[in-house]
Amino acid sequence: MLQVNIPQTNDGSLSPDSVRLVNGTSLCSGRLEVKSEQSWSSVCEADFDQQDAEVVCRELSCGAPSVLRGALYGEVEAPMWTKEFQCGGHESALLDCGRSDSARSTCSPGKAVGLTCSEPVRLVGGASRCAGTLEVKRPEWRPVEDSDWTLKEAAAVCRVLDCGSAVSTGSRNEASRRSVWRIDSDCVHSGSALRECASSYSSSSIVELTCSDSVRLVNGTSLCSGRLEVKSEQSWSSVCEADFDQQDAEVVCRELGCGAPSVLQGALYGEVEAPMWTKEFQCGGHESALLDCGRSDSARSTCSPGKAVGLTCSEPQSIRLVGGASRCAGTLEVKQSEWRPVRDFYWTLKAAAAACRDLDCGSAVSTGSRNEASDRSVWRIRSDCVHSGSALRECASSYSSSSIVELTCSDSVRLVNGTSLCSGRLEVKSEQSWSSVCEADFDQQDAEVVCRELSCGAPSVLRGALYGEVEAPMWTKEFQCGGHESALLDCGRSDSARSTCSPGKAVGLTCSEPVRLVGGASRCAGTLEVKRIEWRPVWDSDWTLKEAAAACRDLDCGSAVSTGSRNEASYRSVWSISPYCVQSGSALRDCAVSLPFSSSSIVELTCSGKSISDIIYDSNIFLPLSQ
């Protein structure tokens, strides 16, 4: 927690820590307490006014007071402060103010001062108060360094400034380094105020930020969805469906830097009490901002419950793969005001799967890196942000690197709803739409082709409804693979003999994980290797029994018994395993990272060897691969 230094009074006789706000949501909010003679007392509303509040907020290095009301932050027992403050508003400390005996004899319950000061955050040098260079005060104003600064952090700033949604974030390089604040993104995501998450740093790379000024989408699943609110005269109002149409939605989506509107329906993102917007929008659809549109008095007198506008804009075209053999392979680029490639630092197949999904390609097959001759501006993607379900552009922060992500997605097959990238309900793409496949039209040889196409191991389970039932569409052809083909759509096909597919008969496929232990006394001991296009050993950095347990699970080899390292005579290409990814329950291959360097230090692993399949075998029970 930040240490806030409170100045002494002019005669130097008072403790520097003489005011505080307790039980608040940040260091700039809470129930006011004043210290005198080594004890803390709450203050009664009757003895405190707006000018007194201005002094307290200044003393705590916060912004101006925004809310002053009793019992906001919990009720309190005595002691209560027995003086009335008489500040002029210019004083640097509350105990510098004049005081007189209070006219009250008691303080009613619920009347202890609760104070909210605005957060000391601002945007300067932009076209409006909602755009420009981000600065934070603690106790001096400084700009913010752009390291790991994403649209998710930007959204927190826009919210604090009472602006709308985050539209874009970028960086500005100054001629020389200066004192800046570095913001801890994990701290911001936990709900803490920006000032509480700032640490002192020196940099020449500064955050530039643009928020929408007068519209926002709230309670949505991304920055491009939510209940629409419009700002007028410093207050936000929801909009009634009757006063809003498709052309109005087009303007809002454009203003927020999103794609075209895809869903416009009331109560999608929670119901709302009044206030409601009282005008009808009359946009042509070409305007750059909603408040540029014409407006007329609404024909309605009320807005029925469930009729507040809920809007979903499509994600903007903010991701692409370039220079590959198809639109589903190549160098990964993300757009956030401009197109840039993505740095390959700790880029896993799990993160790659999100990119493939956003591109409407199939499953992630491989990811690697390409080293360029010199550093250039790139995006760094926070894997924890992507794993939380956010869009790639929301997780991108500005960076400089020469190491660039190369990515291959399967073009026309994918496994969905599985426990890893090598399991799930099979879907096939044709004419830009995905269809499930009926068991009757798919066999073991077809499964071998799919598993190979996805760079997984051999098929281990093939059974309907393993990964959830599905509505139509269903694939209408029967596959006739020989088992040697490199892609499912290279196989022969014929019209299906069936007219319908019974419920529970959509193909669910589990391919084995491409993980092995080599050189040991059994298949459950030895040097750990993972395959992602090619077999490589695993680097032993940060390798614990937790990661080892995941390897034993993938190998169907029981529990992890021991893990160690072996130093080879020379360096070679290895995989690094992301601990965060593995500990979330993902398969090893999904968490493997291609390193920009080689290593000679390799993981050795021993599993117990007693797995569920061993126990079944020992009991003379045999379960064949089912269809």
The DSSP string of 515-578 is EEEEESSSTTEEEEEEEESEEEEBB-TT--HHHHHHHHHHTT--SEEEEEEEEEEEEE--EEE-
Handedness of CA 513, 518, 520, 521 (dihedral sign): positive
For residues 29 and 60, the answer to whether their CB atoms sit within 8 Å is no
Q: Identify the residue whose tokens are 């759509």.
A: 489
Residue 610 pLDDT level (bands cut at 50, 70, 90): low
For 445-489, the pLDDT digits (tens) are 999 999 999 999 999 888 877 787 776 688 888 999 999 999 999
What secondary structure letter does DSSP report for 145? B
Q: Identify the residue whose tokens are 């660039």.
A: 404
Name 429's Cβ contacts closer than 8 Å, sequence gap at least 6.
362, 411, 412, 413, 414, 435
Average pLDDT over the chain, rounded to whole? 86
d(CA 244, CA 308): 10
- The predicted pLDDT at position 271 comes to 74
> Residue 597 above 80 pLDDT?
no
For 156-185, the pLDDT digits (tens) are 899 889 999 999 888 888 999 999 999 988
d(CA 325, CA 487): 15
> Residue 49 above 80 pLDDT?
yes
Residue 299 pLDDT level (bands cut at 50, 70, 90): confident
What secondary structure letter does DSSP report for 453? H
46 burial (CB, 10 Å; 0-12 / 13-18 / 19+) is middle
Q: Is the pTM of this model over 0.85?
A: no
> Residue 617 above 70 pLDDT?
no
d(CA 572, CA 600): 6
| Mean per-residue pLDDT, 254-271 | 86
For 86-137, the pLDDT digits (tens) are 999 899 899 999 998 877 767 887 888 999 998 889 999 999 999 999 999 9
What domains lie within the chain, and their CATH numbers?
A: 19-117 (3.10.250.10), 121-211 (3.10.250.10), 215-313 (3.10.250.10), 324-400 (no CATH), 413-511 (3.10.250.10), 515-612 (3.10.250.10)
The tokens of 393 are what? 């552009």
| Mean per-residue pLDDT, 70-76 | 75
Torsion (CA) 318, 319, 322, 327 in degrees, nearest 10? -120
> Residue 272 above 80 pLDDT?
no
Nearest alpha carbon to residue 554 among 378, 415, 423: 423
Better pLDDT: 75 or 64: 64
Q: Identify the residue whose tokens are 């004419």.
A: 431
- The predicted pLDDT at position 560 comes to 93
d(CA 554, CA 543): 16
Residue 441 pLDDT level (bands cut at 50, 70, 90): very high
| Mean per-residue pLDDT, 75-85 | 80
Name 260's Cβ contacts closer than 8 Å, sequence gap at least 6.
250, 253, 313, 314
